[in-house]
């Protein structure tokens, strides 16, 4: 029997690839601006590149659990349809923030909305499941 959540899995993989690309950008900017590890402070361009990666890490800890709770309590296809907005939003966020701190809002907002929908959807589905099992 095939794994029942392949689309949610593929959205997860795409998100991880976006996240890995951001980590590689931190490595590149460390070399370009001469901010060798383990330093975590430096010129503005370094800080923005670092924050893109770190803020996405912070966001993944909301997004990935929300995505999977929604998939498991609802349906693979719906989770993937909402979830696909997240990696796209984070690419927009990164490209904006790499230019200037002021250009990070659009991508950030789309990502938060997608995460919020998954959280609210999960909450409803989990309450219904709890009532069905324990009620």
Residues that bind a second copy (CB under 8 A): 2-7, 9-10, 12-13, 16-17, 19-20, 23, 36-41, 44, 47-48, 50-51, 53, 57-58, 60-62, 64-66, 69, 72-73, 76-77, 97, 101, 104, 119, 122-123, 125-130, 132-134
Question: Smallest distance from the beta carbon of 44 to a second copy, in angstroms?
Answer: 7
Question: Smallest distance from the beta carbon of 88 to a second copy, in angstroms?
Answer: 18
Cβ within 8 Å of residue 131, ≥6 positions away: none
Q: Do 79 and 30 contact (CB within 8 A), yes or no?
A: no
Question: Smallest distance from the beta carbon of 3 to a second copy, in angstroms?
Answer: 4
Element of type H or E holding 19: helix 6-32
Question: Smallest distance from the beta carbon of 76 to a second copy, in angstroms?
Answer: 8
Q: Which is nearer to a second copy, 88 or 126 (CB)?
A: 126
| Residue 79, helix vs strand vs coil | helix
User: 3, exposed or middle or buried, with CB in 10 Å at 0-12, 13-18, 19+?
Assistant: exposed
């Amino acid at each position: 029997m095939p794994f029942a959540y392949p689309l949610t899995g593929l959205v997860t993989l795409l998100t991880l690839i976006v996240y890995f690309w951001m980590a590689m950008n931190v490595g590149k900017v460390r070399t370009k601006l001469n901010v060798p590890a383990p330093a975590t402070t430096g010129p503005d361009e370094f800080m923005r590149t670092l924050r893109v990666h770190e803020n996405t890490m912070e966001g993944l800890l909301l997004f990935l659990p929300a995505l999977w709770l929604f998939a498991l309590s609802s349906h693979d296809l719906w989770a993937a349809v909402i979830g696909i907005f997240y990696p796209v939003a984070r690419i927009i966020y990164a490209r904006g923030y790499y230019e200037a701190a002021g250009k990070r809002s659009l991508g950030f907002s789309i990502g938060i909305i997608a995460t919020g929908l998954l959280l609210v959807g999960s909450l409803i589905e989990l309450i219904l499941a709890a009532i069905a099992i324990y009620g």
